[in-house]
Amino acid sequence: MRIRRFRKGDAVAASQIISRCFLTMDVGGNSPEGVQLQLEHNTPQELIARAETGAFFVAADGGEVIGIGGYGEGMVRTVFVEPDHHRHGIGTRIMKRVLSEARKNREYHLECWSTHVAEPFYAKLGFKRDDIVEFPTVSFVRMTLDLAENA
Ligand SMILES: CC(C)(COP(=O)(O)OP(=O)(O)OC[C@H]1O[C@@H](n2cnc3c(N)ncnc32)[C@H](O)[C@@H]1OP(=O)(O)O)[C@@H](O)C(=O)NCCC(=O)NCCS
């Protein structure tokens, strides 16, 4: 398995991973309408457009994409691993690459709107919980990381 830059050709597979995460597990904080909204916001076209705002990476196992994650506009975004591959360190490897790229690009501070289920994952990477961001159909845990402190 290796971590490499996201390419347009990865968008369909990445979008499917995101859908499988939302449809096969409870990430917390989403009503059924919220889940629907998340699926609509993570189409292949949306992912391609989002990737242009910053640096996005995928975990690839042979030719198969099994995870995605990146940052853009000061925010960690779109960190998802294929459900069958959770808890094997893949999300951590993606995030380490994202954080190293952010440091190279002289970012000092990153924010993340974490799903409720992913809060311990980001906490292990050094993110600190700020507050809960509430929308009518979805809520997130807002977390921040000081890149200089967590080098
Ligand atoms: C969050 C996510 C990306 C983590 O990816 P992963 O490859 O499973 O994570 P890792 O194996 O690198 O986990 C590293 C550590 O994070 C913590 N962690 C990860 N998932 C966790 C969970 N569900 N519950 C508690 N702690 C968790 C653990 O400390 C874990 O270390 P351990 O397995 O040695 O105990 C993955 O669970 C996922 O895709 N979730 C659904 C989508 C989602 O909510 N994404 C976040 C969007 S903001």
Does 139 reside within a domain? Answer: yes
pLDDT at 59 exceeding the cut of 90: yes
Does 151 reside within a domain? Answer: no
Does 56 reside within a domain? Answer: yes
**Ligand 1: lining residues by beta carbon, under 6 Å:** 21, 27, 79-81, 86-92, 114-115, 117-118, 120-121, 124
**Ligand 1 atom nearest to CA at 120:** 26
Work out the number of other CB atoms within 10 angstroms of the CB of residue 3: 17
Nearest residue (CA) to ligand 1, atom 12: 89
Q: Count the alpha carbons within 13 Å of 32 in the hemisphere toward its beta carbon.
A: 0
pLDDT at 57 exceeding the cut of 90: yes
Domain count, the chain: 1
Residue 90 CA, ligand 1 centroid: distance in Å: 9
| CATH number of residue 124's parent domain | 3.40.630.30
Does 65 reside within a domain? Answer: yes
**Paired tokens of 117:** 């289920």
pLDDT at 117 exceeding the cut of 90: yes
> Which pTM was predicted?
0.97
Domain containing 35 equals 2-146
Does 131 reside within a domain? Answer: yes
Residues 89-96 have a mean pLDDT of: 98
